[in-house]
Structure 1
Amino acid sequence: MNGKRERILHSAFHLFTTRGFHDTPTSLIAREAGVANGTLFNHFATKEDLINQLYLASKESLVTAMKEKVDPKDDIRSQILTIWRNSMNWALKNPEQFNFFRQYSNSPFILNETREEGRQQFVPFISILEKGIETHVLKPVSIDLMLSIISGIISSTVEVLFRGAPGKPSGEIMEKAFMMLWDSIKI
């Protein structure tokens, strides 16, 4: 990734999550990235294009992390547990990307084409869920509902971890939250 483009993305992640879309002019993003405003537009046609690229970049980063050490030979629960841990660790290591994704995943600024491109990145994980449904390990519900449930529990758990839970180690919180997740999707 180009150094200037990467700095623009990093600055935009931070500014969009702290100031919002409308209160983040491209001139501020460029200034924070240490580039000229014209340079921003050399990489992104519009502010809307930038936010769509951020959406895809955050999904790509998450998917890359989610894939680590997932063994297709493992049972469905073990695969989902690995994906869960990877997702949680990614969110804790990348709070700006996580917060951006959480804030903008349902935003009207994200184009339907961008959403579909992002969804395609999740095909390997969707396949695991479909296999779990087909083999009667997971509840026979729509994949969209299952993904929404998983996403919601991840988001809630990360929020608790970001705030800090007095007297509870983060590993314990993550494991208990996974048990709640597993109980909600398994047969």
Structure 2
Amino acid sequence: MRISEQSKQENRARILEKAAEIFTGKGFEDSTTRDIALASGLAAGTLFNYFPSKETLAMTMVTEALCQGREDFLRRCTGKEDLAEELFLFIASGLRRLRPLRPFLGPVLERSLSPFPRKNVCQEGETARLAHLNAVQKIIGRHGFTEAPDYVAMTMYWSLYLGILAFWTNDPSPNQEASQALIDYSVRMFVRVISGSGSDKGEAHAE
């Protein structure tokens, strides 16, 4: 029997909600699609009509959170920021939206956003990566930084960003203050390199 589009969307939302609860409670590695399907009131096989894998399901949460972070960034950005400040705001806005997922994010990001070649690429992870880098390219372009070729700048940026994510998922400092400092130093170093200048003088950032 076919179900309505509204019912599909309701099922999808319920799956995401229950999956987040189970991933948080049991951890990503120990959670199964069967656990999630049962908690969502669906047959185990029905879950795959919505999400082909556990990784895709988790990365869908990440993608949606980062999308919300980009929207937050655009609302908060005044247009008066220098490049380092704008990149800091962009990254911090995404992490703020990812915070509810932080208890189980480590293994999800390790599997889905690894920079190393893989036989099976998580399409949702690739979507998140491309959307994030596209936003960063637009930010860099607005500030007129063209010293480094795009592929060099984006490869460097992505390496720094993955390092920030890895540190942030395990950061024990209050309110992840150490991660904020890491973002600050990382974006300043990145700006110095792509600008071809020796320094990037700006005021200290605040989240």
TM-score of the pair, normalised by structure 2: 0.64
Alignment deviations for residues 64-87 of structure 1 (CA, whole Å, 9 cap, x no partner): 213314337232122112112212
The corresponding residue for 2:50 is: 43
Match among 27, 30, 36 for residue 18 of structure 1? 27
The 8 Å contact of residues 68 and 94 in structure 2, kept in 1 or not, is answered as no
How far apart are the structure 2 equivalents of 1:173 and 1:8?
A: 34
2:65 maps to 61
Higher gyration radius (CA): 2
**Structure 2: gaps spanning 5 or more residues:** 1-7, 193-207
In structure 2, the CA distance between the partners of 1:6 and 1:99, relative to structure 1 (3 Å rule), is: farther
Matches for 1:1-187 after TM superposition, within 5 Å: 2-13=9-20, 14-15=22-23, 18-20=27-29, 24-44=31-51, 46=52, 48=53, 51-70=55-74, 71=77, 73-74=79-80, 75-96=82-103, 98-99=105-106, 101-106=108-113, 111=121, 113-122=123-132, 123-129=134-140, 134-135=145-146, 141-160=152-171, 164-165=172-173, 169-170=174-175, 172-187=177-192
Gaps of 5+ in 1: none
The residue type paired with residue 118 of structure 1 is: A
Instruction: Read off the aligned partner of 1:111 and give its amino acid letter.
Output: V
Aligned length: 175
Residue type of the alignment partner of 1:59:
T
**Alpha-carbon distance in structure 1 between the residues aligned to 2:59 and 2:122:** 12
Aligned-residue offset at 1:181:
1.4
Q: Rate the CA distance shift 1:172–1:73 in 2: closer, same or farther, 3 A.
A: same
Contact 2:69 2:97 in 1 (8 A): yes
Q: Do the aligned partners of residues 95 and 116 (structure 1) sit closer, same or farther apart at CA in structure 2, a change above 3 Å counting? A: closer
Secondary structure of 1:2's aligned partner: helix
Percent of matched pairs sharing the same residue: 18
Q: TM-score, normalised by structure 1?
A: 0.69
Inter-partner Cα distance in structure 1 for 2:63 and 2:96:
15
User: Given the superposition, is the C-alpha separation of residues 78 and 117 from structure 1 closer, same or farther in structure 2, using an over 3 Å criterion?
Assistant: same
Q: Distance in 2 between matches of 1:19 and 1:150?
A: 22
Alignment RMSD, CA only? Answer: 3.6
